Amino acid sequence: MSDDRAGSARANSAWANSARAADSEPSGNARSRQAPADFVQPARRIAYEVIAAVRESDAYANLLLPTRIQRAALNTADAALATELTYGTLRMQGFYDRVIALAAKRPVSAIDPAILDVLRLGAHQLLATRVATHAAVNESVSLAKQVGSRSATGFTNGVLRTISRSSAEEWRGRVLEGAVNVDDRLAAEYSHPAWIVRAFRQALRAEGHEDELADLLAADNMAAKVNMVALPGLATDADRERLGLSDEFSPVGFVLDSGDPYHLVTATAGRIRVQDEGSQIAALALSRARPIVAGERWLDLCAGPGGKAALLASEARAGGAVLVANELVPARATLVRTALEALPEPIPVWEIDGTTIGQSHPETFDRILLDAPCTGLGALRRRPEARWRKQPKDVADLAGLQSGLIDAALLALKPGGILAYVTCSPHIAETRAIVALAVRKAGGAVTALDTAAVVQSFSAANLDLPADTGSVQLWPHRHGTDAMFITLLQRSDE
């Protein structure tokens, strides 16, 4: 949950987008004259450890980094530097790998993985921050001495000094000279795998906005804002006074201007919590699709980790409806129960296979949220390492599960009931294709609602959504949200 969230805007190039850097060095932790020759500043050490853990054990940076910062008791400046170095390096890894290959005169696959992590971290400091060159190079060499061989130390020094002799713009030009086509050029400049670039192009083309591809890729390399939700009917006026400006679109969301968001969550007993504005809109699309009738039964089918469930539960409670949450994975089910503790009444949390819900509970629910398991390509701002971790095969592997879940959810709806199919991915194969297949298989028993009209009805500002698509696709570069896809489907009354 605690991602690198500190402001979102467009920029003209990806390497510049990552330059949300601190000044040359936090003064409180500058190297003293008595420091040993292999001294590495704590912020750099933590950034390296997180980057290495992401590579070695598929760790999640957004979960590991805050823990490491807390354990090290870093001051505010060092915590900010560690955050910038970690997320900036992970975001721009693809670009830095191309720079390193040119500077080292060898493919990165031929470089020891631990030393490659050191070089990536050093390249980020040299090309996208105001960290002094000598500090970036010298401490990277010290890191190399600690994690690699003696020969690796000299290699690291040589590669980084080569990088330091040219500007970021000069390296950008050299990298782009090696691009083999338009998508490879965009992949190099904006540090995304080419297959993701092509998937984003297809999704934007479906809305007639293919010309915005570079803007989308650039937005992925910007830190997301710290976004909060005040649970309706639970958050008090005093709670809201702690918050910053209201969200542009969500009627229950706020941007936190400063301070620790998790202190705020604790202080309000969860009545205020961290939640992306796009996630809020996805939940509200279901709860506000039509007036709530007292006694309605709602289901959050794949509820983990529980943020949308908490918002849905508060909306249901205000209208006299009841919510059931379901999450198959026990660890995630525990997170859901924790997320729902802010509600005055207990919310049932089931742990059943969602693909069987149509058989075990046919025609039971008036509204169902299906936030389907997906590649998460819509949240690359928050989980930058995911772009390097995901593969095209993952999309195909998930398609069967997504189809099984949506088919089961439609069977679990009462006649006239509404399903919200949601993914945090804009990939056509995870969004429009899954919905279209489900509608065809339903054989006229399911119709698509005007999702855009529903969302616009409660939005505080114009979302500028394409007409006649039957769905809503939110975008980081257009809406400042994760790239959430939302479609509302209604089961026939007959």
Q: Burial of 462 by CB count in 10 Å (0-12 exposed, 13-18 middle, 19+ buried)?
A: exposed
Does 404 appear as a known binding residue?
no
Does 346 appear as a known binding residue?
no
Does 260 appear as a known binding residue?
no
Q: What is the pLDDT at residue 466?
A: 81
d(CA 15, CA 239): 38
Helix/strand/coil for 348: coil
- Give the pLDDT confidence of 405-455 residue by residue, as tens digits: 999 999 999 999 999 999 999 999 999 999 999 999 998 899 999 999 999
Q: What is the pLDDT at residue 28?
A: 41
Helix/strand/coil for 122: helix
Does 158 appear as a known binding residue?
no
d(CA 394, CA 377): 11
Domain 14-171 and domain 276-491, same fold? Reply is no
Cα distances from 425 to residues 60, 155, 213, 369, 490, in angstroms, run 18, 40, 15, 16, 22
Does 306 appear as a known binding residue?
yes
Radius of gyration, alpha carbons of the chain: 24
Residues 6+ apart with CB under 8 A from 25: 41, 131, 132, 135
Let me know if domain 14-171 sits in CATH 1.10.540.10: no
Q: What is the pLDDT at residue 36?
A: 55
Q: Are 337 and 389 in contact (CB under 8 A)?
A: no
Phi and psi of 75, rounded to 5°?
-75, 175
- Give the pLDDT confidence of 379-394 residue by residue, as tens digits: 999 999 999 999 999 9
Q: What is the pLDDT at residue 71?
A: 94
HSE value, Cβ hemisphere, 13 Å, CA-based, for 21:
24
Does 308 appear as a known binding residue?
yes
**Residue whose C-alpha is closest to residue 300's, from 289, 288, 276, 316:** 316
- Give the pLDDT confidence of 139-184 residue by residue, as tens digits: 999 999 999 988 899 999 999 999 999 999 999 999 999 899 999 9
HSE value, Cβ hemisphere, 13 Å, CA-based, for 417:
21
**Residue whose C-alpha is closest to residue 118's, from 40, 66, 14, 17:** 40
d(CA 365, CA 360): 12
Q: Burial of 44 by CB count in 10 Å (0-12 exposed, 13-18 middle, 19+ buried)?
A: buried
d(CA 413, CA 129): 53
Q: Which residues of the chain have pLDDT under 50?
A: 1-35
Q: Are 487 and 451 in contact (CB under 8 A)?
A: yes
- Six-digit token string for 97: 């790998």
Q: What is the pLDDT at residue 37?
A: 57
Does 450 appear as a known binding residue?
no
Q: Which amino acid does the sequence have at 130?
A: R
Instruction: List the domain boundaries for the chain.
Output: 14-171, 276-491
Residue among 230, 335, 372, 424 flagged as catalytic: 424
Share of residues in the chain with pLDDT > 90 (%) = 83
- The 8-class DSSP code of residue 464 comes to -
- Six-digit token string for 311: 């918002």
SS3 breakdown of the chain: % helix, strand, coil, rounded to 5? Answer: 55, 10, 35
Helix/strand/coil for 347: coil
Residue 424 annotated as catalytic: yes
Helix/strand/coil for 11: coil
Cα distances from 467 to residues 119, 290, 471, in angstroms, run 47, 20, 9
Neighbouring CB atoms inside 10 A of 297's CB total 17
Tokens 């279209």 label which residue? 436
**Residue whose C-alpha is closest to residue 98's, from 85, 89, 107:** 107
Does 374 appear as a known binding residue?
no
* CATH homologous superfamily of 276-491: Vaccinia Virus protein VP39 (3.40.50.150)
Q: What is the pLDDT at residue 147?
A: 94
- In order, the DSSP letters of 240-308 are HHTS-SBPSS-TTEEE--SS-HHHHHHHTTTSEEE--HHHHHHHHHHHTSSPPPTT-EEEETT-TT-HH
